[in-house]
Structures are given as structure tokens and as C-alpha cells.
Structure 1
């Protein structure tokens, strides 16, 4: 009797599930993307390193066939490709690279939680160090060829340095903010100053040299302006996320070879054919310190 009473008391009907009109909250998974170098990008870095190293050796060997007093173009051009070779070796071996993290927020309606997309993208800042040294040297080559004054050459180089440094700051800027695109705008303004010196002041100055040199300067300076203009185009495409790391490396590699190796070879070949382009440097450049006439204490004491 007792057992039956306990069994009947516990045999209660369990409550059924009451349906609600609230949608279930979806599970939010992290959306993370890694934009890093691949095989084609790595191979490109090594190939360009070899190209720059070979060009450096050829330019240096070429300079040995020229008198020391006439080696200014050869020295500058060789230093440009040497710096580029060092930069590409650093990038090929995993140096000079940082990772920029960008978090993009997505707002959803109807009670759906907001989500984020995190992008980790490699920034090869070693190329900016390369450009910081090589582009002023390229401008020095062009300024000397055109016969620009020291003041104009200095102002062009200062504008160029501003362009590179601010461009590096823009590459680490937050996506779609004044921090990034404001720096990019400043960099482009500095670039316009560089073009102004090359196109206007350079063209005016080179007319006082000779017609042959003027024609050559307009051709190689125009080539430089076109190639340099392609750099911010690649940067803009990269900043918009429309170019992979490998695509970015390949694009910049092609431009670097054109701006340094092709430019240097063209300059030295034409320089050898145009005596008007000679810049003869004597004194300390060619002969070192001349110590004739210096007072020697031992001779004075023995007099």
C-alpha cells in the first residue's frame, strides 16, 4: 500500500515546452584573415636580390674603366643597386617585415550581435628604408645631369624624403581613417614637389648644357616620373585590399628593377656616348687630401 501510494504520487505529468517567438541567438565565430607572403612572392624577392647584386657588380666593374675624376655617375648608380640588393636580401630572409592588424566592425540588425573581421597583413618596411636612401640618389643623378643648382637639388631631395617617411606612416595607418589617407595625401603633395623640380627647373637648367643632353634628360626624367607614379598606384590598390602580398611584391619588384637597374644602365651607357655629361671632380674626390704647404712642426723645430 505504501509503495503504491509513493508510486502514484511521483507519477506526475512533466510540463511541456512552451513555444516562444524569440529567435535563437546565432553562434558568432571569429573571422580572422592572414595575408602573408607565398611561394611566388618569396621567389621574386630572391630573384630581384640576384638582379640587384649582378647589376652592382657590373656597374662597379664599369667604373674601373673610367678615370676616378669622372666616376660620379658610376659611384651613385652602383650605390643605389647595392642598397636595393641589401634590402631585398633582408626581405627574402624574413627581415624588415612587420604585421599590421586591422579590425573591421560589422553592425547587424534584428538582434543579431555585431561581428568583426580581423586582418593580419605583412608590411615590408625594409623597402621604405631602401627608398629612403636610393630615391635621393636617383634625384642626385638627375639633378647633376640637368645642371640643377644645389638649392633645387636639396629641395627636391627633402620633398622626396618627406614623401617616403610619410608614406611609411600611411602604410601602418588604420583602414579608412584620416590617419592613413591623410598621410597618403601629404606624401602625394611631396611627390608633386619632386615632379615640379624635375619637370620645370630641370628642363630649364638642362637647356644651358646642350641640345643632346637636354633630349636625353627629358627622356630619362620622363621615364622616371612615369615609373615613380606607378608606385602610389600600387600602394593604393594594396591599401584597398585588392592585391595579395605576392601581387604587391611582384609589382614593386618590377618597378624597382625599372627605376634602378634599367635607369642606371641607360644613364651610364648614354653618359659614355655624350662627353657633355661629364662631371670632372678633382681635388679631394680624385687625389685625397693635398698636404703640400702644411706646416710640419718637426721641420720648424729643426730650422
Structure 2
């Protein structure tokens, strides 16, 4: 922004510093994708599926649906790429790197899942437990929090705390599916507490970004952010609710 002081962390598209000429957001994305690929390779090569999970209840695992989900994420990634090509502003264009993490990692995850390379187990509730999904969420959730923090003036400390809570939410959610009673309930409670904090942070990030759009020229951008806020709330609350009721 014009007139912004060096080191100021306010305003949209604030990348909160650089290191050796690299924006921290770029370093974040490179490390995120590299670490995901390494961990996914270790999991796929060292852990094997439970044969019973592949035909749970006499129904084979829906590999075809995984291909369809992969194509939907690939389409979203392609649309992000088109937007990146036509974006002149370098700061806005840099958001594409985070889009690669948020949409690109699911493309890889569901590709591995559809090809039968990722392990599938049966959890303590008798449902299929797909490990690669938790591994995917472990990387895409912090990336989403980082993306929305860039669009607003949220402080770095708050972003790091929300990322830590996102990781706690996913890890304890996984443990709730593998630990016996009553330990699974403690893990589930911890996951829901972390989930509440993450949702609160996401809503705050988008609300601040909307509030910082003060000019008439930003009206379309403000509407897009409000739509993102509504979609994020419904998807993040609706999916766990459906899972709990299923």
C-alpha cells in the first residue's frame, strides 16, 4: 500500500516479512508442498491397507468417486492458474502459491487414493479411516489460515496460534478414531475445542479483510470476501455435523 511504513503489518496482501529476498509466504508454500510429498511417500510405502476396510459391509471402496473429487480440485487449481496468469499485481499473484497448496495437495491426495496407493483402515466405530485425508488436512488447514491472514491485518502471533490449533484439531481428530473408549472422547473434545478457535480465527480474518475494503472500487472484492466467509462457515461446520450424524 502507498504510504505504508516499512515493517507495517496492516492492510490486505501483507506477507509479514521476507528472508534473503524471499517472501515468507513463498517459503511457507515450498516447504509445505515438499514436506507433504515426503510424508505421503513414507506413508504410502510403509503402511498397508486393511483388506477388510476395502470391502467394508460388502461394499467395495468407491475409487471412482475419488477420481471425480480429484478432477474437481484439479479444475479449481486450473482456474486459479488462469487468474494468476491474468493478474498484474505481484502481491495478488503471489496468492496463487497458497492456492497450489490448498487445491494442489488434494489433487495429489485423491490421486493416490483413487489409485489404491494410500492405506485405509477401520476405525474404532467400524467406519473406514482414510489416513491420507488427515495428512492432507494437516497441510491445507494452516495454508488456508495463512491465506486469510494475508488478506487482513491479523498479527503474526495470532496466525501461528491458529495454525497450531489447526494441527491440534486434526491430530486429536485422528486419535479420536483410533483410541479406545473413553480416551477417544477426550481426544474428540480437544479436537472440537481447537476447531472452535480455528473457526473463530477464520471468521475474524475475513471480517477484518471486509472492513479494510473502504473504497467504492472494492465493493466487488468485499462481496467476494463475504461469500467466502459464508461458504467457509457452512463447509467447516456442515461437514463435521454430517459426519457426526452419519
TM-score normalised by length of structure 2:
0.66
The answer on 1:91 being equivalent to 2:95 is no
Residues in 2 aligned to 1:37 and 1:228: alpha-carbon distance in whole angstroms = 31
| CA contact 1:146–1:214 (8 Å) conserved in 2 | no
**Can you list the C-alpha shifts for 1:57-95, whole angstroms capped at 9, x where unaligned?**
332243122244431222211321110011101111223
The answer on 1:77 being equivalent to 2:85 is no
Instruction: Decide which of 77, 80, 90 is 1:56's aligned counterpart.
Output: 77
Change (3 A) 1:228 1:180: same
Residues in 1 aligned to 2:119 and 2:198: alpha-carbon distance in whole angstroms = 28
Residue of structure 2 equivalent to 1:147 = 153
Change (3 A) 1:219 1:58: closer
Residues in 2 aligned to 1:88 and 1:46: alpha-carbon distance in whole angstroms = 7
Change (3 A) 1:124 1:72: same
Residues in 2 aligned to 1:201 and 1:51: alpha-carbon distance in whole angstroms = 26
Residues in 1 aligned to 2:126 and 2:196: alpha-carbon distance in whole angstroms = 32
The answer on 1:234 being equivalent to 2:242 is yes
Residue of structure 2 equivalent to 1:136 = 142
Residues in 2 aligned to 1:63 and 1:168: alpha-carbon distance in whole angstroms = 35
Q: Which moved more, 1:199-208 or 1:187-196?
A: 199-208
Residue of structure 1 equivalent to 2:163 = 157
CA displacement at 1:192 relative to structure 2: 0.9
The answer on 1:220 being equivalent to 2:228 is yes
Residue of structure 1 equivalent to 2:185 = 181
Q: Which moved more, 1:144-153 or 1:126-135?
A: 144-153
Residues in 2 aligned to 1:58 and 1:161: alpha-carbon distance in whole angstroms = 28
Residues in 2 aligned to 1:160 and 1:101: alpha-carbon distance in whole angstroms = 22
Residue of structure 2 equivalent to 1:291 = none
Residue of structure 1 equivalent to 2:128 = 122
- In structure 2, runs of 5+ residues without a counterpart are 1-51
**Can you list the C-alpha shifts for 1:205-230, whole angstroms capped at 9, x where unaligned?**
65244274555434322321221112
| CA contact 2:151–2:209 (8 Å) conserved in 1 | no
Q: Cα RMSD (Å) of the superposition?
A: 2.8
| CA contact 2:142–2:163 (8 Å) conserved in 1 | yes
Number of residue-to-residue matches in the alignment = 189
CA displacement at 1:181 relative to structure 2: 1.8
CA displacement at 1:36 relative to structure 2: 6.1
| CA contact 2:166–2:194 (8 Å) conserved in 1 | yes
CA displacement at 1:129 relative to structure 2: 0.8
Change (3 A) 1:231 1:97: farther
Residues in 2 aligned to 1:53 and 1:216: alpha-carbon distance in whole angstroms = 21
Q: Which moved more, 1:61-70 or 1:125-134?
A: 61-70
- In structure 1, runs of 5+ residues without a counterpart are 1-31, 103-118, 238-242, 244-303
Residues in 2 aligned to 1:151 and 1:164: alpha-carbon distance in whole angstroms = 20
**Which structure dedicates a bigger proportion of its chain to helix?**
2
CA displacement at 1:204 relative to structure 2: 4.8
DSSP 3-state at the match of 1:71 = helix
**Can you list the C-alpha shifts for 1:27-84, whole angstroms capped at 9, x where unaligned?**
xxxxx99626846822211111122223223322431222444312222113211100
